């Protein structure tokens, strides 16, 4: 037993000495290639085995022949181990360089293509993470391009919609100033109408800027959708009469919700005005509200004839307007963007889909706790 303990002690001391030297070498080569580190590890393993074997051999007073045999065996094992470590290191480095090239191309053109040759589990995981990141960045770039396109359209349409009433206001004010207006009262009424349009447009821009800046402060209170929709229908009734459109609100459940009454009234008002203006005379705009498993669904259905399927994803984009809505009184394409912003601030969502003869705008809100 005592001999075995001595053998273990001498082997440990020899291997420990090799390990200390190897640790120093690894520290010095910590910034070098992985091949060098793997090679050093293999050298440390072989050297530790050789040092332990020689220490035990010296302690046991082995003959020169036996010692040379042991040394030869260890040397052959060392050659094989070092060659294997070198090949392994070069293979891992090659896979790492392929992944680095793919990542560099990813940085150049924004599209990551994973190397096709097999790699270690860690490199494969890193490749999958880079691929997932590439997909997310592609989605982000698409959204950014869509937003930039919406901003350009918004600026162009706002400029057009501002220029038209401003030119009319200037012409009417010059006619009044020169005393050539045949009916000054009519001019004054028209000026007031145009000023109100401009005021509404500026108000929509201000509201949208608050939504995009995250500065929309909500004052929630518990109320019934029945009362909320009733007030909105009463407010939209004059416009509906002017356009010859019937407002219907028969399928309305008195469901309680916790919302900002003022902001939700704006949501309903925008949806109703949009529906009335798109519905032909003698048409119907129907409002409904019901509780579902997803929450409270409030819907406004019009008779616009439907929206092209390719345009449905853009309906709520800032500044977007359909091809038939490019002229006043269509507005600046902000109403539905404001609707989505307010609804999302209430942790809800806004959607639109085509139905028979028109389209249905749906607002889903969290139901109030009973």
Q: Give a three-class secondary structure readout of the chain.
A: CHHHHHHHHHHHHHHHHHHHHHHHHHHHCCCCCHHHHHHHHHHHHHHHHHHHHHHHHHHCCCCHHHHHHHHHHHHHHHHHHHHHHHHHHHHHHHHHHHHHHHHHHHHHHCCCCCCCCCCCHHHHHHHHHHHHHHHHHHHHHHHHHHHHHHHHHHHHHHHHHHHHHHHHHHHHHHHHHHCCCCCHHHHHHHHHHHHHHHHHHHHHHHHHHHHHCCCCCCCCEEEEHHHHHHHHHHHHHHHHHHHCCEEEEEEECCCEEEECHHHHHHHHHHHHHHHHHHCCCCCEEEEEEEEECCEEEEEEECCCCCCCHHHHHHCCCCCCCCHHHCCCCCCCCCHHHHHHHHHHHCCCEEEEEEECCEEEEEEEECCCCC
How far, in Å, are 63, 69, 72, 74 from residue 55 at the CA level?
14, 15, 15, 13
For the segment 284-294, what is each residue's pLDDT rounded down to a tens digit?
Answer: 999 998 888 88
Please provide residue 327's backbone torsions phi and psi, each rounded to the nearest 5 degrees. -120, 155
Question: Which has more confidence, 49 or 30?
Answer: 49
Give the model's pLDDT for residue 351: 92
Measure the CA–CA gap between 338 and 234, rounded to whole angstroms. 21
Residue 119 pLDDT > 80, yes or no? no
Q: Average model confidence (pLDDT) for the chain?
A: 77
Give the model's pLDDT for residue 325: 44
For the segment 326-336, what is each residue's pLDDT rounded down to a tens digit?
Answer: 334 445 567 88
What is the four-CA torsion angle of 18, 24, 25, 29, rounded to 10 degrees?
160
Instruction: Give the number of C-alpha atoms closer than 13 A to the C-alpha of residue 44, restricted to the C-beta side.
Output: 17
Give the model's pLDDT for residue 330: 46
Measure the CA–CA gap between 224 and 365, rounded to whole angstroms. 13
Which two tokens mark 246? 């019937």
Residue 61 pLDDT > 60, yes or no? no
Give the model's pLDDT for residue 271: 92
Residue 63 pLDDT > 70, yes or no? no
pTM of the shown model: 0.57
Residue 360 pLDDT > 90, yes or no? yes
Query: What number is the average pLDDT over the span 334-360?
Result: 89
Query: What number is the average pLDDT over the span 142-166?
Result: 74
Measure the CA–CA gap between 230 and 298, rounded to whole angstroms. 13
Instruction: Give the number of C-alpha atoms closer than 13 A to the C-alpha of residue 306, restricted to the C-beta side.
Output: 7
Confidence of residue 10 (pLDDT cuts 50, 70, 90): low
Query: What number is the average pLDDT over the span 13-27?
Result: 67
Please provide residue 287's backbone torsions phi and psi, each rounded to the nearest 5 degrees. -115, 135
Q: Taking the CA atoms of 256, 261, 267 and 270 in sequence, report the sign of the dihedral they define.
A: positive
For the segment 75-84, what is each residue's pLDDT rounded down to a tens digit?
Answer: 777 777 767 7
Residue 313 pLDDT > 60, yes or no? yes
Query: What number is the average pLDDT over the span 20-37?
Result: 66
Give the model's pLDDT for residue 359: 92
Which two tokens mark 219? 């004052």
Residue 311 pLDDT > 70, yes or no? yes
Measure the CA–CA gap between 106 and 298, rounded to whole angstroms. 44
Q: How many Å is the Cα radius of gyration of the chain?
A: 38
**Whether the bond into 329 is cis, omega within 30 of 0:** yes
Confidence of residue 166 (pLDDT cuts 50, 70, 90): confident
How far, in Å, are 115, 146, 313 from residue 135 at the CA level?
16, 17, 20
How far, in Å, are 3, 337, 339 from residue 218 at the CA level?
83, 17, 14
For the segment 175-187, what is each residue's pLDDT rounded down to a tens digit?
Answer: 888 887 778 888 8
Residue 146 pLDDT > 90, yes or no? no
Give the model's pLDDT for residue 244: 92
Residue 165 pLDDT > 70, yes or no? yes
Residue 363 pLDDT > 80, yes or no? yes
Residue 223 pLDDT > 80, yes or no? yes
Which two tokens mark 133? 């990141």
Query: What number is the average pLDDT over the span 128-154?
Result: 75
Pairing of strands 246-252, 284-292: parallel
Residue 109 pLDDT > 50, yes or no? yes
Across the strands, what pairs with 129?
Answer: none
For the segment 241-281, what is each residue's pLDDT rounded down to a tens digit?
Answer: 999 999 988 778 788 888 888 889 989 999 999 899 889 98
Please provide residue 274's backbone torsions phi and psi, each rounded to the nearest 5 degrees. -60, -45
Q: Considering only CA atoms, which of 203, 206, 205 is closest in space to residue 195?
A: 203
Greatest mean pLDDT among 51-60, 148-157, 190-199, 259-268 lies in: 259-268
């Amino acid at each position: 037993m005592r001999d075995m303990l001595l053998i273990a002690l001498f082997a440990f001391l020899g291997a420990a000495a090799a390990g200390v030297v190897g640790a120093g070498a690894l520290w010095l080569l910590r910034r070098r290639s992985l091949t060098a580190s793997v090679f050093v590890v293999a050298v440390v393993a072989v050297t530790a085995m050789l040092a332990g074997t020689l220490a035990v051999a010296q302690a046991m007073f082995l003959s020169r022949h036996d010692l040379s045999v042991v040394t030869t065996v260890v040397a052959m094992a060392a050659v094989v181990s070092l060659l294997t470590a070198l090949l392994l290191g070069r293979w891992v480095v090659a896979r790492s360089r392929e992944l680095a090239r793919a990542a560099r191309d990813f940085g150049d053109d924004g599209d990551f293509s994973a190397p096709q040759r097999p790699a270690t589990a860690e490199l494969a995981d890193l490749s999958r993470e880079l691929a997932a990141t590439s997909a997310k960045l592609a989605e982000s770039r698409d959204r950014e391009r869509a937003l930039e396109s919406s901003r350009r359209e918004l600026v162009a349409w706002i400029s057009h919609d501002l220029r038209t009433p401003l030119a009319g206001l200037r012409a009417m004010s010059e006619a009044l100033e020169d005393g050539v207006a045949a009916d000054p009262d009519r001019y004054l009424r028209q000026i007031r109408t145009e000023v109100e349009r401009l005021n509404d447009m500026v108000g929509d821009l201000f509201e949208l800027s608050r939504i995009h800046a995250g500065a929309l402060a909500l004052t929630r209170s518990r109320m019934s959708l029945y009362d909320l929709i009733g007030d909105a229908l009463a407010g939209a009734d004059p416009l509906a009469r002017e356009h010859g459109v019937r407002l219907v609100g028969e399928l309305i459940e008195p469901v309680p919700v916790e919302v900002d009454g003022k902001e939700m009234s704006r949501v309903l008002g925008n949806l109703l005005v949009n529906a009335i203006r798109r519905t032909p005379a003698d048409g119907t705009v129907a409002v409904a509200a019901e509780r579902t498993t997803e929450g409270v669904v409030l819907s406004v259905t019009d008779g616009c004839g439907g929206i092209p399927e390719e345009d449905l994803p853009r309906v709520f984009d800032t500044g977007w307007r359909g091809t038939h809505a490019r002229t006043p009184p269509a507005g600046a394409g902000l109403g539905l963007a404001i609707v989505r912003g307010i609804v999302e601030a209430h942790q809800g969502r806004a959607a639109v889909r085509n139905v028979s003869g028109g389209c249905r705008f749906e607002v889903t809100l969290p139901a109030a706790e009973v």
